[in-house]
Amino acid sequence: MAANKNLLILPGDGIGPEVMRQVRRVVDWMDKRRAVRFDVQEDLVGGAAIDAHGVPIADQTMDKAMNADAVLLGAVGGPKWDNLEFAKKPERGLLRLRKEMQLFANLRPAICFPALADASTLKRELVEGLDIMIVRELTGGVYFGEPRGITELPDGQRRGVNTQVYTTNEIRRVARVAFELARKRQKRVTSCEKANVMESGVLWREEVQKLHDEEYRDVELQHMYADNAAMQLVRAPKQFDVIVTDNLFGDILSDEAAMLTGSLGMLPSASLGDIDETGRRKALYEPVHGSAPDIAGRNLANPIATLLSFAMSLRYSFDMGEEADLIEKAVQQVLDTGIRTADIMQKGAAKVSTTTMGDSILMALDRMSA
Ligand code: IPM
Ligand code: MG
């Protein structure tokens, strides 16, 4: 029999724990109904870890993450920890996971569910059927570049510095992920940078083009300045298939793309490392939305993004595409019947709580596998 699947769950802060509870129910459902055994461990990250251990992620938790087949994370951060110094903030827990697990490729799909097209701030015809995959570089660029810091100048002013830096290999490995994904989709990649003002952008453009010419001539490659891409995303979003971009531009463009779909509460993400000698690849899955402290603990949050993140882990870490499809279809069915959490509420729909959304999805799963 195959070994159990090791899943580390880090619910984190804010709405993280309550949406993750719904995921646990689906994991249990998989155990019972599909006879898929998961070894699930749960641990702390972010503010929760700061409160318990004084650090945004403890070393023991890092060890567990390094050894898990997949990590599923809720969300980190909240007003309680806003005034901590940079290195101690909840967000550093997430950044440490990304960096030490070397999760350089962040996949952020922006898919517009037909039932939700009217929840978008854009017109239905612009977003209906939207299916973009943003591949964001996640372990380099200005997020981690040195030198960084705030220093005092002799005249009493202060100076803040961050460094945007990329190497050939960092660019090529993330571009490769984008080209490979494009091959399974519409075979189009748009690479975004600011080659008109930044040397790191010139390098990015050249290296992506080189890799394309060497290995991916069957994929259509287009280069676009990141500011133009931001504009095109709201002008005509369906022109895009796969977008590949750096850490900072990817952070911004993926939030923008997410909102096109009607709700941040719907979007999952996967962060992947390289495939090692044993064929394994480290991976972390998390919703694109944050910890939403304003609604935390009130049973209002939408658990779908986290559930779909679990579905992505089934697809990319556990080779369980069929089960991933099942969850995605269950979500679709529930939306089609007009069940909505507050964030995606529409006229005439039934507004439900986090737990009732979980109930509905479990019932849909039951129905589909009956
Ligand atoms: C994201 C978030 C993070 C980022 C924060 C929480 C550090 O905005 O995952 O997009 O900037 O990468
Ligand atoms: Mg962000």
Mean pLDDT, the chain, whole residue set: 95
Q: Using one digit for the tens of pLDDT, what is the confidence trace for 296-306?
A: 999 999 999 99
Instruction: Name residue, tokens 């453009």.
Output: 205
Which residue, judged by its Cα, is nearest atom 12 of ligand 1?
Answer: 251
Q: Using one digit for the tens of pLDDT, what is the confidence trace for 325-349?
A: 999 999 999 999 999 999 988 889 9
pLDDT over 70 at 1, yes or no: no
Query: 72 has which bridge partners?
Result: 9, 285
**At 189, is the secondary structure helix, strand, or coil?**
strand
Count Cα atoms within 13 angstroms, Cβ side, for 65. Answer: 30
Evaluate: CB of 251 within 6 angstroms of ligand 1.
Answer: yes
Chain centre to alpha carbon of residue 82 = 22
Query: Which residues place a Cβ less than 5 A from the ion ligand 2?
Result: 251
pLDDT of residue 327: 97
**Centroid of ligand 2 to alpha carbon of 22 (angstroms):** 23
Q: How confident is the model at residue 114 (pLDDT cuts 50, 70, 90)?
A: confident
Q: Using one digit for the tens of pLDDT, what is the confidence trace for 31-86?
A: 998 878 899 999 999 999 999 999 999 999 999 999 999 999 999 999 999 999 98
pLDDT of residue 2: 53
**Residues with catalytic roles:** 143, 194, 227, 251, 255
Instruction: Give the Cα separation of 138 and 281 in Å (integer).
Output: 15
Which residue, judged by its Cα, is nearest atom 8 of ligand 1?
Answer: 251
| Token output for 311 | 């579905």
Nearest-atom index, ligand 1, CA of 91: 7
pLDDT over 90 at 113, yes or no: no
Which residue, judged by its Cα, is nearest atom 2 of ligand 1?
Answer: 251
Nearest-atom index, ligand 1, CA of 94: 7
Instruction: Set out the domains of the chain in order of their start, with CATH numbers.
Output: 1-110+264-370 (3.40.718.10), 131-260 (3.40.718.10)
Evaluate: CB of 91 within 6 angstroms of ligand 1.
Answer: yes
**Centroid of ligand 1 to alpha carbon of 65 (angstroms):** 19
pTM of the predicted protein model: 0.91
